[in-house]
Structure formats: C-alpha cells, structure tokens
Structure 1
Amino acid sequence: MTTVALILKHKGYQVTTVTPTALVSEIVALLSHRRIGAVLVMDQTEQLLGIVSERDVVCSLAANGEKTLEMTAGQLMTRAILVARPDTTVAEAMQMMTVGRFRHLPVMDHDTLVGLISIGDVVKARIMHQDTVVESLTAYVAGSV
C-alpha cells in the first residue's frame, strides 16, 4: 500500500510556515500568493504549534468580521492537530482526514516536520494506485486468454 512518504517523494517536502506572531492579513496574502490552503505555525525551536487554514480564517471572519485580519496566527490557529508519519498509509491518512473533517495533515518523522499533505494529494495517490491495479489486472486477464 502507498504511504505518505511516497506522496512526499513525488510532491516535495517544502512546507510554508509562519510564526505565532504573524498577522492573519499576512497569512491571507501568503495563502493567496502561493495558492495553498494552510500554513503551519512553528516556534523558534521548530516545534509545531498549530495550523491556520482557509477554514479558520473564514470562520473567524464570520464571527469577528474584519478584526480577524488584525489577529495573529497564535490567536487563530487550530492547536489540536493530528499528524501523520512517513509510514502512514494513504488509506490511514484519508481516514484521519475524513473522520477529523480537515484537509491538511502535517507529516512528522519523530519530532521533525518533514512535510504537509492535502486531501488532494491523498486522492491523487489513491487514483494512481487504482490505475496501477486496473492496468495490472487488465494485463493479467489479457495474458491469460
């Protein structure tokens, strides 16, 4: 079964991070500029503190209006986040994201951040795996006729 490590091998390991003091207005600009849906919040010692996603911003805008843009990442971030390991299977990652109703999953190797995957990355990996299975079965059936 495909693992998160394989997703990262194809996708890359770059992760966009901010400090807890980054303003939400800056984060929104970063999300838009990089065409991404979330940033991880890290402290000076590279410890993962939380995540700020588009959903966090939208929910805060609904509750707080334009004051949201003056908030910091530390004030807005989701603190209770699940993480995957490189050996987490794609099916396990999909299950975590589906049950938890979130779209971004940090990948940690012990205490070190090694990547960030999205639900789009997971779906793409599942489709590629299914395509490989179909091709293998087709070749097997064609060869045995």
Structure 2
Amino acid sequence: MLIETILDMKGHDVAKLRPERRVSAAIALMAERRIGAVVIEDRGRVVGIFSERDLVKLLAREAHAALDSTLSSAMTSPVITCRKEDRLDQVLAVMSQRNVRHLPVMEGESMCGIVSIRDLVRHRLQEKELEAATLLDISRMQG
C-alpha cells in the first residue's frame, strides 16, 4: 500500500503553525484536534515539527518558561518526511529506525498531508486481516 492511498482515506488536513508562535499555542491546537504533532511551516516551507516528545524535552530543559518558548526553539528540525509514492512498509521502517511517530508527506516541495505511526499500523493490520481471510477462503475452496 502506498502512502497516497492512506492519505486519500484519512484526509490531507495538517495542523500547522508558524515558528514564532508559542509552545502554548501548539499544545492548545494538539489538545483541540487530539493529535500528537504540529508541523511548523514558514512561508509555505516545512521547517520543523513539534510533537509530544519535543514538549517533554522542553519541559525537562526549561520547566517554568516552557509554555512561553517559541516553537522555533522547541521543534525538531530538520524534519524527516516521506513521499506519497512511498510504500507503507518503507515508511514504517524509517519511523522505527529514526524513532519518530509523525511524518509530513511531501509532493515535491509542498506538503500534502501527514501520517502517524498509528495510521500506518492500522492500515498494515487491515492488510494482514485481508490476507488471512483470503488464505482461509482459498483453503476452504480446496478442502
């Protein structure tokens, strides 16, 4: 399965903020949308990503001043991305190797969506269930 197929099913909406915004704005947006990461974009270019892990690192480092910090000081950059032509298994491998849970999906220089490890695992499980059902049907027809 291609990443493009997953985006077509889940949608292309991405939560984005500018790098000069405060961490508190990102937390509010993540809570409102019930998501684990916000893409940081500057003049239409992806410059970072701010995730739950970035928040934990920031709190450990700055505690009291964390919420007033700018996203540019707390985001992960450069951003690891994938392309909509990538295969699900390839992207899962990258996420595992690089220890990330969210990848913006790029089409050239433009972001066309974002996928999370949850999205990919859900679709991988659906693939496996379909394979198992197909094999069971074949075995019943031959038996």
Q: TM-score w.r.t. structure 1 length? A: 0.96
Q: List, as ranges, runs of 4+ consecutive aligned residues in structure 1 with deviation greater than 3 Å.
A: none
The one-letter amino acid of 2:46's match is L
Structure 2 unaligned spans of 5+? none
The one-letter amino acid of 2:41's match is M
Quote the Cα distance in structure 2 between the aligned partners of 1:63 and 1:85: 33
Quote the Cα distance in structure 2 between the aligned partners of 1:26 and 1:87: 32
Q: CA RMSD in A?
A: 0.8
Deviation at 1:81, TM superposition (A): 1.8
The one-letter amino acid of 1:70's match is D
Structure 1 unaligned spans of 5+? none
- 1:13-28 matches, within 5 Å, as 13-28=12-27
Deviation at 1:92, TM superposition (A): 0.5
Identity %: 31
Quote the Cα distance in structure 2 between the aligned partners of 1:143 and 1:114: 43
The one-letter amino acid of 1:37's match is G
Deviation at 1:119, TM superposition (A): 0.4
Aligned to 2:107: 109
- 1:80-91 matches, within 5 Å, as 80-91=78-89
The one-letter amino acid of 1:41's match is I
The one-letter amino acid of 1:75's match is S
The one-letter amino acid of 1:111's match is E
- SS at the partner of 1:107? strand
Quote the Cα distance in structure 2 between the aligned partners of 1:113 and 1:80: 14
Deviation at 1:63, TM superposition (A): 1.2
Deviation at 1:87, TM superposition (A): 1.2
Quote the Cα distance in structure 1 between the aligned partners of 2:106 and 2:114: 9
Residues paired across the two proteins, number: 143
CA distances 1:104-125 after superposition (whole Å, capped 9, x unpaired): 0110011110110000001001
The one-letter amino acid of 2:3's match is V
